[in-house]
Amino acid sequence: MDTYDTCARAVQVFGVRRALLVTQSYHLPRAVALCRSLGMDADGVAAPCDCNVFSLVKNRAREWLATVDAVREAIWHRDPAVTSPPDDTLAPHRFWVHERGGGPKLYTNRTREVAVR
C-alpha cells in the first residue's frame, strides 16, 4: 500500500473526513494533496527525520517520482490496492496518518494503530 491507498481507505472504509498527517517534510505536500483530492479535510505536520544524507537524497528523488504518480491518482481516483467494507466503529475518533520506515499507518486520537493493510 502507498499513501494514496491509505488516504482512500481512511475515507472509504473508516469514514475519515478530517485528518492531521504526520510525516517527513519532503513527503508532506504530496500526502496532504492526495488526501484532499479524496475529499478529506487534511492538514499536515512535519515530523523530524533522523535520516543520513544518503537517505535524504534517495527519499527526495523517490518523492519526486511519486509526485508524478500522485497527479494521476488525484485526477483518476483509482481503487485502493486493498478493499474492505465500510467500518464505522472508529468514526467518532480522530485519525492521522503517519509514515515512517514501514510505510503508512493510520492512528486514532488514542494513539493506537489501526490496521489499514
Query: What are the mean pLDDT values of the chain's consecutive 10-residue runs (117 residues total)?
Result: 89 88 89 94 88 86 86 87 78 56 55 45
Domain of residue 58 covers 3-114
- How confident is the model at residue 115, as a pLDDT? 46
Report pLDDT for 92: 57
pTM given for the model? 0.71
| Domain count for the chain | 1
**Burial readout 90-103 (b: 16 or more C-beta within 10 A, e: otherwise):** beeeebbbbbeeee
Tell me, what's the pLDDT at 91? 59
pLDDT in tens, 64-74: 888 888 888 88
Burial-class residue 4 by CB neighbours within 10 Å (0-12, 13-18, 19+): buried
